[in-house]
């Protein structure tokens, strides 16, 4: 029989926004205890809004990890900005995250947008507290309170110990409401999507400069059996010259991508993984709206 939902149960949607590379996806993954959103040392890693559904006995928080705010240099960026803006519309609470470099131009623009457009409560998180001192902390905290945030917290998203306090801070701002999702759901995306993101993450980790940004991944076939998963995926690049770099000498790089991805997908599914990767070119795909649609952006 289904357990009764207590009257004081709280739930709501919480959008996590902020400039690229501050640790938004790292925080989401820590809270969920699962790698839902890919993380890399390079900015603009996240491209879609990724939902993480945190459920306990007392609350359900639907976190939305968003792409870092970006200059719209490519059609792809317009789609990323749309993903951020639509996450603001449905949110019951906004978490604005910054780091040890506040304020940058990006920070200022995001804060201005949030204060102008968002009426719901707003928490500011100063992340990466391993990289700043008390003086920076106090000064930044004051600036954020002055800007209009309802609460300012400092943390390191790499540190699990601070998470339960953070969850309480968030829940305090949420409305009383029954949960929106079944407690067993961690996200609303299929396993196939996470497999695709895991492959994309390896490319972010292995290459510098333009290759990560010029690449995207599509899953062409995904067969899940009781004890194994068979996947065929395409890695799309923008130019022929990039293909040689991605494949590497005698296929060494593509092999590394395949092996690391198989490991990641194994950790996700608990099943043996056989992955086939194909490298393809779609000239200037980031500028073409029909290509973006085809690639799921």
Ligand X SMILES: Nc1nc2c(ncn2[C@@H]2O[C@H](COP(=O)(O)OP(=O)(O)OP(=O)(O)O)[C@@H](O)[C@H]2O)c(=O)[nH]1
Task: Give the one residue of 55, 98, 127, 242 binding ligand X; rule: CB under 6 A.
Answer: 127
Task: Give the one residue of 9, 43, 136, 181 binding ligand X; rule: CB under 6 A.
Answer: 43
The minimum distance between CB 20 and ligand X, in angstroms, equals 4
Task: Give the one residue of 11, 45, 140, 216 binding ligand X; rule: CB under 6 A.
Answer: 45
The minimum distance between CB 158 and ligand X, in angstroms, equals 4
Task: Give the one residue of 9, 113, 156, 177 binding ligand X; rule: CB under 6 A.
Answer: 156
Judged by beta carbon, residue 40 or residue 261, the one nearer Mg ion is 40
Count of residues engaged in binding Mg ion, rule: CB under 5 A: 4
Q: How many Cβ atoms sit within 10 Å of the Cβ of residue 165?
A: 11
The minimum distance between CB 43 and Mg ion, in angstroms, equals 9
Site for Mg ion in 38-57 (CB under 5 A): 45-46
Q: How many Cβ atoms sit within 10 Å of the Cβ of residue 19?
A: 25
Task: Give the one residue of 14, 19, 25, 87 binding Mg ion; rule: CB under 5 A.
Answer: 25
24 near ligand X, rule: CB under 6 A: yes
Which strands sit side by side in the sheet containing 93-98, from one edge to the other?
50-55, 59-65, 10-17, 93-98, 122-126, 151-154
How many residues in the chain? 297
The minimum distance between CB 156 and Mg ion, in angstroms, equals 16
Q: Which does 265 bind (CB under 5 to 8 A by kind): ligand X, Mg ion, none?
A: none
Residues near 123 by beta carbon (within 8 Å), at least 6 away in sequence: 93, 94, 95, 96, 149, 150, 151, 152, 153, 169, 170, 173
Q: Which does 21 bind (CB under 5 to 8 A by kind): ligand X, Mg ion, none?
A: ligand X
The whole-angstrom separation of Cα 26 and Cα 158 is 7
154 near Mg ion, rule: CB under 5 A: no
Q: How far is CA 239 from CA 106, 244, 280, 283, in A?
A: 30, 10, 9, 6
21 near Mg ion, rule: CB under 5 A: no
Q: Which does 127 bind (CB under 5 to 8 A by kind): Mg ion, ligand X, none?
A: ligand X
Q: Taking contact as CB under 5 A, which single stretch among the options 19-27, 73-81, 90-98, 108-116 is the one that binds Mg ion?
A: 19-27
Task: Give the one residue of 46, 60, 202, 234 binding ligand X; rule: CB under 6 A.
Answer: 46
Placement of tokens 């004081």 in the chain: 8
Which residues, listed in sequence order, are joined to residue 232 by a DSSP beta bridge?
A: 221, 276
* Interface ranges with ligand X (CB under 6 A): 20-26, 39-41, 43-46, 67-68, 127-128, 130-131, 156-158
* Interface ranges with Mg ion (CB under 5 A): 24-25, 45-46
């Amino acid at each position: 029989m289904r357990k009764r939902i207590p009257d004081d149960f709280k739930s709501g949607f919480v959008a996590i926004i902020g400039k690229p590379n501050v640790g938004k996806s790292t925080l989401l993954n820590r809270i969920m205890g699962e790698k839902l959103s890919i993380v890399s040392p390079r900015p603009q890693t996240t491209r879609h809004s990724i939902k993480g559904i945190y459920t306990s006995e007392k609350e359900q928080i639907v976190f939305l990890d968003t792409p870092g705010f970006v200059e719209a240099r490519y059609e792809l960026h317009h789609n990323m900005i749309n993903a951020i803006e639509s996450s603001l519309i449905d949110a019951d609470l906004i978490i604005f995250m910054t780091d040890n470099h506040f304020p940058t131009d990006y920070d200022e623009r995001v804060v201005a947008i949030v204060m102008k457009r968002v009426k719901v409560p707003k928490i500011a998180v100063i992340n990466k507290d391993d990289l700043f001192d008390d003086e920076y902390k106090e000064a930044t905290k004051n600036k954020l309170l002055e800007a209009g945030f309802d609460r300012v917290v400092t943390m390191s998203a790499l540190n699990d110990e601070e998470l339960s306090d953070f969850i309480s801070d968030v829940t305090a701002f949420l409305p009383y409401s029954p949960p929106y999702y079944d407690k067993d759901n961690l996200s609303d995306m299929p396993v196939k999507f996470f497999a695709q993101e895991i492959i994309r993450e390896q490319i972010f980790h292995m290459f510098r400069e333009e290759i990560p940004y010029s690449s995207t991944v599509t899953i062409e076939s995904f067969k899940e059996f009781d004890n194994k998963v068979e996947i065929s995926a395409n890695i799309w690049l923008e130019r022929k010259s990039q293909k040689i770099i991605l494949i590497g000498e005698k296929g060494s790089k593509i092999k590394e991508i395949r092996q690391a991805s198989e490991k990641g997908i194994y950790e996700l599914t608990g099943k043996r993984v056989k992955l086939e990767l194909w490298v393809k070119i779609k000239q200037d795909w980031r500028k073409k709206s029909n290509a973006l649609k085809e690639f799921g952006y």
